[in-house]
Amino acid sequence: ITQQLARSLFLTPERTFQRKIRELFLALKMEFILTKEQILEMYLNQIYFGQGAYGVGTASLTYFGKTLSELELPESAFLAGLLKAPNTYSPYKNYILAKKRQEHVLGRMAQAGFLTESLVRAASGTRLDFTRQSYDRVAPYFLEDVRQHLVKEYGEAMTYKGGLQVSTTLNIPMQRLAEEAVRKGLRDLDKRQGWRGPLRHEEPPETLPAEPPTVYPAFGEILEGHVVTVSDEAMTVLAHDLVGTIALPDMLWAERRLSEGESVTDAVVTPVVSATQLVEPGDVIEVSLKSTANDTIRFRLDQTPVVEGALIAIDPRTGAVRAMVGGYEFERSQFNRALLAIRQPGSAFKPIIYATAIDQGLTPATLVLDAPVVYEEEEPGKTWKPENYEKRFFGPITLREALRHSRNAATVRLLEQIGVGRVINFSQALGIRSPLSPDLSLALGSSGMTLQELTATYGVFANQGLALKPYTISLIRDQHDHILEQHVFEPSQVVSKETAYLITHMMMDVIQSGTGRRARSIGRPLAGKTGTTNSYRDAWFIGYAPNLVTGVWVGFDSVGTLGKVESGAHAALPIWTDFMRKSLNLLPVRTFAVPDGIQFVEVDRTTGTLVAEPSQGTTTEVFADGTVPHPPVHQPADPLDFYEFDQLDETVEPR
């Protein structure tokens, strides 16, 4: 208990050997200074009980709507049992398992001499009636970040008992939308990956509930259910004291099946034509409530995702964090992936490279060669050959075209042309603090960074080149109304307005006709970029409107593939689109401001050269003053078919 308290009060959630040593040292120091009773009191007053409840007093209100002094023995025993695993023993997910845990606690109390057998029997036979304080569950990752800041800056006593008044940047309607979008997106992805089968097999209760529960589960909430009967067309399930059916159409997604320990790429596909293919009576499965119409309970076959995800939404004009989701479920894992997970961004890093090129005087119409190239690595005999997603090359293309369709080979050549050092310096000016690989693999997003870090850099582009420093606390006052802390926005131009607008205009094309086109249906001025890493381990989408920048990451905590075709556009973009479509309805429509030093000029769509008149093969391009190309002095040759060229491996020499 002392080690858990030390970890919660003083240490970050990192998982390292060094943290474990510090945890042990702090626990020994606490044992020396405090009595066992004091340690237990502190532990119970701040430990996590699930459902967003920190401390036993808050847990009492959350689960039962009562103060601690009002709790009866059965309720107190439940809270004591909950501490071991709040997510596992959540009564909202599995009432039967929660009740068994409570009965175990009562039995242990009897063994220790605190209760008589008659009291244990009476308490075990008492039905637990739970309330649902949903407001306590809003933004757990955001609030935990705020809590850690307060404890670090002002100490535990001031944080919990000092009467601090804390004003945060959280937008509660947006936060709810963010949580809904992440949950839906991860559940949809998890179903595409495959069904993992029943959780276990155990006999259901001998008697079924005579009355429905006092609190119904929310529609869509995942519950554990016992299979009672099975036929070809349906199965009968007992879940949360409700007896209902799952019809065949509500289990068809389970045609992709995974065995324990298998990768998602190993799923076996067998069409579901009968419920008997999937379960047998006594199996425990996961379900969600579909409807209660006409007093008929209907469930869906469901599954808690193993895959994780994160979302952060920031006001680019100030840096105020409006919404934050650090994982699928805070009760399952308090590790905040929006702030702490360091992951490779893949192509989501490319806009920084293209913005560096623009800042160096190149234009969206500048040609770059998308052609095969081989680089020698430091290890003797090893080479690296960047490939495009389509496994082919496209010859000379404009920078706009290269970014729109995320051409890897062209981006590597561009990075080689402008210099790795320049890109690293430019990245640091934008606010990137994670170490960056000083080699050409940087073009493909090989350097790890956090979601908040990269999202904030996109915010610089959204805010016309002004530095963006995300923050969650706007004001802190003490109990006497004295200001202890106040955020002050200090604008600093780190990128020119022209560069910020040009890269924004290029990323608007990504959404209009490139890898992010699924977001086009939102119907607002938007810019953004997808990101996918090798073997589909990470999926990203970061994008923005003038008044909101949002980043989404999806992946496994451990190294593992999301599955073939689960790219940023397929796994992360749907979450981003769902959130932004609804969140932008809460904000006024804004367009990206055009700086004074920008010109709109008609150019050849393929070559990027100036043309006299618009035609079918031309497009309106944007340029900073002084970078408009000169008219061509002769007709350029037709581009070479570099896909055919790539088939002649002997023509490609290592560099």
Establish if 168 belongs to a structural domain.
yes
Q: Is 101 helix (H, G, I), strand (E, B) or coil?
A: helix
Answer with the residue of higher pLDDT: 634 or 576: 576
Answer with the residue of higher pLDDT: 279 or 33: 279
Written as six digits, the tokens of 42 are 């502190």
Which residue is it, tokens 């959280």?
Answer: 170
Written as six digits, the tokens of 196 are 């993992």
Averaged over 139-148, what is the pLDDT?
94
Listed residues 584, 610, 629: the one ending a domain: 584
Both 494 and 566 in a single domain?
yes
Written as six digits, the tokens of 12 are 């970050």
- The predicted structure's pLDDT at residue 33: 73
Tell me the sheet residues that pair with 250: none
Tens digit of each residue's pLDDT (9 = 90 or more) over 445-476: 999 999 999 999 999 999 999 999 999 999 99
Both 259 and 114 in a single domain?
no
Distance CA 356, CA 146 (A): 35
Both 481 and 338 in a single domain?
yes
Quickly list DSSP for 378-432: SSTT-EE----TTSS--EEEEHHHHHHTT-HHHHHHHHHHH-HHHHHHHHHHHT-
User: Residue 550's closest CA among 585, 576, 586?
Assistant: 576
- The predicted structure's pLDDT at residue 64: 87
- The predicted structure's pLDDT at residue 484: 96
Tens digit of each residue's pLDDT (9 = 90 or more) over 59-69: 888 888 888 88
Q: Is 87 helix (H, G, I), strand (E, B) or coil?
A: coil
Distance CA 345, CA 418 (A): 21
The alpha carbon of residue 71 and the mean position of all alpha carbons in its chain are separated, in whole angstroms, by 38
Strands (E) located in 143-201: 165-168, 200-201
User: Residue 512's closest CA among 502, 520, 501?
Assistant: 520
Establish if 320 belongs to a structural domain.
yes
Q: What is the DSSP letter of 328?
A: S
Q: What is the mean pLDDT of the chain?
A: 89
The dihedral built from the CA positions of residue 621, 627, 628 and 632, taken in this order, carries a sign that is negative
Q: For residue 366, name the pLDDT band (cuts at 50, 70, 90).
A: very high
Establish if 612 belongs to a structural domain.
yes
Tens digit of each residue's pLDDT (9 = 90 or more) over 518-558: 999 999 999 999 999 999 999 999 999 999 999 999 999 98
Whole-angstrom CA distances from 580 to 48, 177, 260, 307, 548 are 31, 9, 36, 22, 9
Strands 200-201 and 222-230: unpaired
Distance CA 28, CA 2 (A): 8
- The predicted structure's pLDDT at residue 19: 62
CA-based R_g, the chain, Å? 29
Q: What is the CATH number of the domain that holds 297?
A: 2.40.50.140
Listed residues 584, 608, 626: the one ending a domain: 584
Task: Of 18-27, 207-216, 497-506, 626-635, give the range with the top mean pLDDT.
Answer: 497-506
Q: Are 500 and 464 in contact (CB under 8 A)?
A: yes
Distance CA 546, CA 524 (A): 10
Both 103 and 59 in a single domain?
yes
Burial 566-581 (b: 16+ CB within 10 A, else e): bbbbbbbbbbbbbbbb
Q: For residue 216, name the pLDDT band (cuts at 50, 70, 90).
A: confident
Listed residues 584, 606, 639: the one ending a domain: 584
The dihedral built from the CA positions of residue 434, 437, 442 and 448, taken in this order, carries a sign that is negative
- Close Cβ partners of 612 (under 8 Å, ≥ 6 residues apart): 631
Establish if 591 belongs to a structural domain.
no
Which amino acid does the sequence have at 61?
L
Q: For residue 648, name the pLDDT band (cuts at 50, 70, 90).
A: very low
- The predicted structure's pLDDT at residue 88: 82
- The predicted structure's pLDDT at residue 16: 59
The alpha carbon of residue 572 and the mean position of all alpha carbons in its chain are separated, in whole angstroms, by 8
- The predicted structure's pLDDT at residue 58: 84
Give the Cβ contact number of residue 24 at 10 Å.
Answer: 13
294 phi/psi in degrees, rounded to 5: 55, 35
Q: Are 579 and 543 in contact (CB under 8 A)?
A: no
Which residue is it, tokens 């076959």?
Answer: 301
Quickly list DSSP for 248-285: GGGGGGGGEE--TT--GGGPEE-----GGGT--TTEEE
Establish if 562 belongs to a structural domain.
yes
Averaged over 332-336, what is the pLDDT?
91
CA angle 254, 256, 260 (to 5 degrees): 95
Both 455 and 322 in a single domain?
yes
Both 176 and 314 in a single domain?
yes
Both 12 and 32 in a single domain?
yes
Both 461 and 336 in a single domain?
yes
Q: What is the CATH number of the domain that holds 499?
A: 3.40.710.10
Q: What is the DSSP letter of 235?
A: E
Total domains present in the chain: 4
Distance CA 37, CA 237 (A): 45
Establish if 471 belongs to a structural domain.
yes
Distance CA 524, CA 505 (A): 14
Establish if 42 belongs to a structural domain.
yes
Distance CA 359, CA 501 (A): 11
Tens digit of each residue's pLDDT (9 = 90 or more) over 399-408: 999 999 999 9
| Residue ranges making up the domain that contains 216 | 196-301
- The predicted structure's pLDDT at residue 603: 93
- The predicted structure's pLDDT at residue 14: 54
Both 386 and 495 in a single domain?
no
Which residue is it, tokens 């890109």?
Answer: 423
Tens digit of each residue's pLDDT (9 = 90 or more) over 70-96: 899 999 999 999 888 888 888 877 777
**In this model, does residue 98 exceed pLDDT 90?**
no
Q: 439: alpha, beta or left, given left = phi > 0 and alpha = psi -120 to 50?
A: beta
Distance CA 317, CA 167 (A): 19
Both 296 and 319 in a single domain?
no
Q: Which segment of 56-70, 98-112, 499-513 scores lowest on mean pLDDT?
A: 56-70
Distance CA 9, CA 13 (A): 11
Strands 222-230 and 283-291: antiparallel
Q: What is the CATH number of the domain that holds 608?
A: 3.40.710
Both 41 and 75 in a single domain?
yes
**In this model, does residue 9 exceed pLDDT 90?**
no
Tell me the sheet residues that pair with 544: 527, 549
- Close Cβ partners of 548 (under 8 Å, ≥ 6 residues apart): 313, 314, 315, 316, 322, 580, 583, 584, 587
Give the Cβ contact number of residue 454 at 10 Å.
Answer: 29
As a three-state string, the secondary structure of 6-27 is HHHHHCCCCCCHHHHHHHHHHH
Tell me the sheet residues that pair with 476: 166, 485
Q: What is the DSSP letter of 571?
A: I
**Percentage of the chain lying above the pLDDT 70 cut:** 92
- The predicted structure's pLDDT at residue 34: 76
**Percentage of the chain lying above the pLDDT 90 cut:** 64
Tens digit of each residue's pLDDT (9 = 90 or more) over 44-60: 887 888 877 878 888 88
- The predicted structure's pLDDT at residue 28: 80
Q: Which segment of 194-203, 206-215, 275-284, 372-381 scores lowest on mean pLDDT?
A: 206-215
- The predicted structure's pLDDT at residue 55: 86
Q: What is the DSSP letter of 510?
A: H
Distance CA 144, CA 472 (A): 11
Establish if 589 belongs to a structural domain.
no
Tens digit of each residue's pLDDT (9 = 90 or more) over 109-132: 999 999 899 998 998 888 888 876
Both 259 and 400 in a single domain?
no
Looking at the chain, how many residues does it have? 655
